[in-house]
Amino acid sequence: MSGKASTDISTSSKEHNVVPNSTRPGESAEKEDLTQYPKGMKLFLIMVSLYFSAFCVALDRTIIATAVPKITDEFHSIGDIGWYASAFLLTGCSFMLFYGKIYTLYDIKWIYITCIVIFEIGSAICGAAPSSTVLIVGRAIAGLGSAGLFSGTVIIGVHTVPLHQRPIFQGLFGAVFGVASVVGPLLGGVFTDKVSWRWCFYINLPIGAATIVGLIFMLHLHSPSGAKGMTVREQIDQLDPIGTALFLPGTICLLLALKWGGTDYPWSDGRIVACLVLSVVLLIGFIVVQYFKQDSATVPPRIVKQRSVASGLYYTICTGASMLTMVYYIPIWFQSVKGTSAVQSGIRSISLVLALVIGSVTGGAITFRTGYYTPCMIVSSIIVSVGAGLITTWTVDSGKGMWIGYQVVYGFGLGLGMQQPNMAVQTVLLKKDVPVGSSLVFFGQSLGGAVFVSVAQNIFTNKLKDYLMSVPGINVSAVVDAGATNIRHVIPSQLLPMVLVDFNSALIKAMYVGVAMSSIGIIGALTMEWKSIKNGEGQGEKNKAPADIKKALAGSGKAPTDIEKVSADLKRAPVDIEKA
């Protein structure tokens, strides 16, 4: 075998971290990497800072729900209600993939801190808003900052925690995310009733400030900038300006169509049709640009085509759709059908929160012990589907046993698998590609929630109107416009039992969306590769090493037959050594 070929094989093996057979998979890399990770109190403070940041962002997505009535009373802005949540969602969802690319090029620590600052500025504007318009602008700015915080939390975790310990980190992150999402309306109700709705936003300021201080002094990453040595023009090209210019308006048009369609305007309205057509054209253009730009694209095609990444993306779209649909409609069910206040409905959802926390920590512990995340995803899909199905059996007369027990089943199943796709991304991709992979996962979760909550809302509204048409003496428009908490004020007492049955039926039909998405999510779990975190990072890339070795040999002028001879020589080597 020629010296040139030997050198090429050696170089290619090193580039792909190919581990020799005499070494236990992941062992040498793990020992080398452990010296780079923070430990003890330093690691604890970094993790607490990251969890605080994630808690604030997750909380901000739902805390405003119970504050809306007071806000509209102060600003006389009923027509702006939808924008208070949508402004945050539009910028948050649209910029996620862009931040994934940013994290691969520039200093992770300072990009993350910049995102916190942007989020804090948006929160401060919301808290001090003198008008509804200013509040909406503040929500959009806060959403822009939040877009880089979820994926940034995972990316910093990748650089501060060894892979085999990350399931615990991810489990706790999932618990924080789930708790904040579910208790948001409860805290919003408490702030609104006891202090002021403005504290729904001011609460982020001291937490964000503490997070920034903690990260500045404690976080020191050994992650070289991907843009180092590049010219300004090369950096701009790496940021994929054409792809970004297509993706941002394409996503915004899609979300606007879903927000307006069937509620503000009929689906046949020209504005809705125009938004949908524009979104399709722009997003197709984005895909084409990604194909031609390859590794310099916002989302390099090789990352999306990796089986575990594609399966994880599909899975998170489904679980995100299910979670946000159920979390959105369960409080409405308590407030409308059971007649509770916003705060009481939040208290009655605590069983879901606790189960989600236990499920998330359990999933992290199982993955930590076994090394495999795929089993948790499969079991999670089954349990969460059963739990969602059980919730849709609720009736006007359902007692505590049903609405507590069924939430426990659903919450535990959700927590068990919610963070596993992130573990898959970190296992199969090289560390430099994790920012894009994790951004894809969070984008899928957000997009799934945005799309299918809108679908569920249209189902609920249309079904409620259909059911109420059969009730004599009911003003359908008045009931629909009254909302969940005020239906008892606009309906005669003798007709209330019939209307509550109809309200319950319409809500259950909307929740079927959550059941359906939970059920089909198992496809993503079943197609996920079985990779062990104990075998180190970049396993999806390491599998490509033999092909790359052949490519290196081919580039040196060797014919295919020579490559086959080299392979044969390598296979015979152990036998020749024994003979010697």
Give the number of other CB atoms < 10 A from CB of residue 455. 18
Q: How far from 302 is each of 111, 237, 239, 494, 496, CA to CA, in Å?
A: 25, 18, 17, 63, 57
Tell me which amino acid residue 536 is: G
Q: What is the pLDDT of residue 580?
A: 41
Taking residues 214-233, what's their average pLDDT?
A: 78
Higher pLDDT, 81 or 18: 81
Q: What pLDDT digit, counting tens, does each position of 86-134 carry?
A: 788 888 888 888 888 888 888 889 999 999 999 999 999 999 999 888 9
Q: Is the pLDDT of residue 80 over 60?
A: yes
**Dist. CA 404–CA 254, nearest whole Å:** 36
Contact indicator for 134, 170 with CB cutoff of 8 Å: no
Whole-angstrom Cα distance, residue 442 to residue 444? 5
Highest mean pLDDT (candidates 12-26, 293-307, 336-350): 293-307
One DSSP character per residue, 51-101 reads: HHHHHHHHHHHHGGGGTHHHHHHHHT-GGGHHHHHHHHHHHHHHTHHHHHH
pLDDT for the residue numbered 312: 93
Q: Which residue has the tokens 């640009």?
A: 289
pLDDT tens sequence across 256-267: 888 788 777 888
Q: Which of 61-70, 121-130, 148-157, 341-350 has the highest mean pLDDT?
A: 121-130
The pLDDT of residue 243 is above 70: yes
Say how many residues make up the chain.
580
Would you state the pLDDT for residue 223? Answer: 62
- For the chain, give every domain's residue range: 32-228, 241-297, 301-543, 555-580
Residue of higher predicted confidence among 570 and 336: 336
Contact 521, 381 (CB under 8 A): yes
Residue 571 banded pLDDT, cuts 50, 70, 90? very low
- Whether 24 has a pLDDT exceeding 60, the answer reads no
Report how far residue 159's alpha carbon sits from residue 169's, in angstroms, rounded to the nearest whole number: 12
Cβ–Cβ < 8 Å for 5, 556: yes
CA-based radius of gyration for the chain? 26
Mean pLDDT over the full length of the chain: 81
Burial class of residue 32 in the structure, from the number of CB atoms within 10 Å of its CB (0-12 exposed, 13-18 middle, 19+ buried): exposed
Q: Classify residue 134 by burial, with Cβ atoms within 10 Å: 0-12, 13-18, 19+.
A: middle
Return the pLDDT at 565.
46
When pLDDT is cut at 50, 70 and 90, the band that residue 227 belongs to is: low
What is the predicted pLDDT for the residue at 542? Answer: 57
Same fold, 32-228 and 301-543: yes
Whether residue 63 has pLDDT greater than 60 = yes
**Per-residue pLDDT tens digits for 303-325:** 988 999 999 999 999 998 998 88
Instruction: Answer yes or no: is pLDDT of 560 > 70.
Output: no
The tokens of 346 are what? 């939040």
Q: Which two tokens stand for residue 323?
A: 């979670």
- Nearest 5°: the CA angle 181, 182, 188 is 85
Fold annotation for 32-228? Growth Hormone; Chain: A; (1.20.1250)
Cα–Cα distance between 13 and 546 in angstroms, integer? 9
Q: How confident is the model at residue 177 (pLDDT cuts 50, 70, 90)?
A: confident
Contact present, 425 and 308 (Cβ < 8 Å): yes
Q: CB–CB of 460/506 below 8 Å?
A: yes
Give me the amino acid identity at 200.
C
**Nearest-angstrom CA–CA distance, 162 and 31:** 10
Does domain 301-543 correspond to CATH entry 3.30.70.360?
A: no
In tens, the pLDDT along 269-281 reads 888 999 999 999 9
